[in-house]
Structure 1
Amino acid sequence: MLSPETRMIIKSTAPVLEDHGVAITTRFYSRMFDEHPELLNIFNHANQAQGRQQTALAKTVYAAAVHIDNLEEIMPAVIQIAHKHVSLGVKPEHYPIVGAHLLIAMKEVLGDAATDEIIQAWSDAYGVIADAFISVERSMYQTTAEQENGWNYFKDFVVARKVKESDVITSFYLKPADGSNVPTYIPGQYISVRVSIPGEKYTMIRQYSLSQASKPDEFRISIKREADNDPNGIVSIYLHKQVDEGDRLEVSAPAGVFVLDASKSTPVAFISGGVGITPMMSMFETVATSTPERPTVFLHGARNRNQHAFDEDIKSFVNRMENASYSTVYSDEENGFITRAMLEEHVDPAGDAYVCGPVPFMVNMIRELRNIGMDDSRIHYEFFGPAMDLEELKSQ
């Protein structure tokens, strides 16, 4: 528990963190990686280079300051980040390292404004927040390891099949190298893939949504190949060009909170853009096979037909369902975007909507779903990249 005096100090520093948070987190990461370069085996280098991770951490620290009187308010964000940490293999011993360098960075950036009293208050607050993460993650690791066919950290898998789904998306079917089965997962979850790329000093980890309903013996991930000059594309290009059937990849157990509520029978809409279709496929297939009578809508936007993955698969599922519809739009064509009118025509605002795609797409879809009368509690979405302020995304 934090003392009233400590909480007061933390709240008083919130405006400063809002103004200087990114400068603090940028200095923090620089210091930490200088002294602990081994942590570069965990962190996404592209996100670091683009400043995305620094911004995400700054928002998290600021949110902690604002809600220090009631940290339960940020528990949904803690749980979401904890899932990402577990998929990356973050361990309890990493937290003291982070805390020490974060406090030093605060002092260096804020100078004399960061008094000993303020630094001590933040040290106490960080200890409470770190304990919350460690506790949540310990429980997740235990659950993951104890489930049937479960494991912690990374395990060797073999690429059993590699299937081209469109001009830019390829599916990788992964089976455990030891011949075992895989754990059951919730539709919408993801796995992490860790690779050692020739010429790169550190390993690289990326998260990929599981793109089919849970199967006993395999995972399927469907990966978009990014452009050669995209700093985010180094892993996807390597997987597309260098990894073949029979090769091995290190894989984490399934994680993630953007998941289908399969217990419901009320109307549901899946709304995706581009490679955001991947988590929708596991959700949609689950509905199609387990509750085919459920009123279901699938709306998808792609750049063009050649970049549209899973079209025939979705049509096949729709044909077996009792009350399902499927519509697509292509941005290269006239009027090729999902509009409010399209949502009004197809989506029941009394049901649930799952949204995934590029951030501008999600911002627009969330706004328009609200405009047609859907409550925020019924709008579920996934953001690709570092954790961000979900309330900020909602409000845009």
Structure 2
Amino acid sequence: IVNTLYLFGLVLLFQFDNVRRGGIYYTFQEGIILFLFLNYGLTYALILSQVGILVFQFMSHRKAIRWKRFAYLYPINALFDLVYISLPVFAYEALGGPIGSSFTYTKALIPFIGFLITVFLVSYFQCLLVNRFLFLKYDWQRLVKLQSLVYGISMLSALLGIWFYDESPLVAATVSALILFLFKRLLQERGDLLEANDNAKRFDDAKEHLLISRFERETIDSLLLDLPHLLPFSEGWISIQQQRKQVIYDIRTKQPIDVLPLFHSLTADDLHTPIIYGLRCDWGNDIQIGLPVDRHSMLAIPSITSGEVDVSIILFHQVADAYDATNADELSRLLRIFCRVLERSRETVQLYTESRTDALTELPNSRAFYEHGRQEFAADCYPLSVILFDIDHFKRVNDTYGHKVGDLVLRELGRRIQVIQLQHDDVFAARYGGEEFVL
């Protein structure tokens, strides 16, 4: 009983300390299960593995979705575990693989090759079944590649552990577990480090692109251009609200679309934290928005606000558990920067407009006239007419009635010029200086 409890503790250790890659959890318990099979037989290995999966599936999810996840995942995971253990073992035994006290390394070489080939075949067919019946997207090439690494390390640890079996079964199991744990930790830390560095670089580049943006359109285009490279998604929408005007963009096409009902719930007052779901069974009824049945992962940032700018974003993906809290934090920080830059861009536009507008007549000033003129000549917009005119005897108006009345005259002339502009789209008008104007 003590031996069994100790070995079961090793199984649970690897179940809960897993590595997630591409929406799949790699527990690395295969080394311990293989060790159990080679020393105690298939039945004993299956029992400990199945009990371990039962405990892991029930305890590994947060309370809000625990029962949904358990009902959805436990049957299929228990079945796959049986297949992953049984079929390779049957191939191993069919090729004359030794177990127990009769185990020798030379006799096990060819049976282990058959064992690995069976693992690859099972991985391939698992992907086909999961894609077809559970609508979960798994890349079978990546799965087979990672399974090769996992089972290669697992077999190595099991074989090294057997070396110490004559001293004590528990010592042998401990050695096998330590070797496997070391390899797993190295792989996990390396993978996490590479992924973290890659994510940090992508998000830093996106932040830099936003910070150098000056105008509203440039800022929005910069974000829409970078988002597809930051996080994987199948569908994604972003809502940008300014001064009570809301525009929703499809991130894939970068085009505005009609308002999605889902965004109304995401911008509610009680939703200020990211929403993360990993499987379709986790979603609430208010998130059923007619997406294909193979959309599982969801990441929603309900409301990021700065001044009069409010941004919400929602992403869906085919891969299960594609998003985590780190993704949500990085995206939230990026959206906060976006809001501040967008707010700043409105101020920049206002300052730009004011610097090129005559405050008295509200017409463009001479600086705007020269800029517009350069554009017209550069674009070869001919025929082109330029009319420079002034107000006759304007000095007499100022001298007789005062400068306030003179300002009223200038303002009225500016209003009449704007009326002409409304009637003719191709007329540009500016106050050139004093009482001089240009068309």
TM-score scaled to structure 1, two decimals? 0.23
Larger radius of gyration: 2
Q: Comparing both structures, which one devotes a greater share of its residues to helix?
A: 2
Q: Which has the higher contact order (CA 8 A, sep 6+)?
A: 1
Q: Comparing both structures, which one devotes a greater share of its residues to strand?
A: 1
TM-score scaled to structure 2, two decimals? 0.22
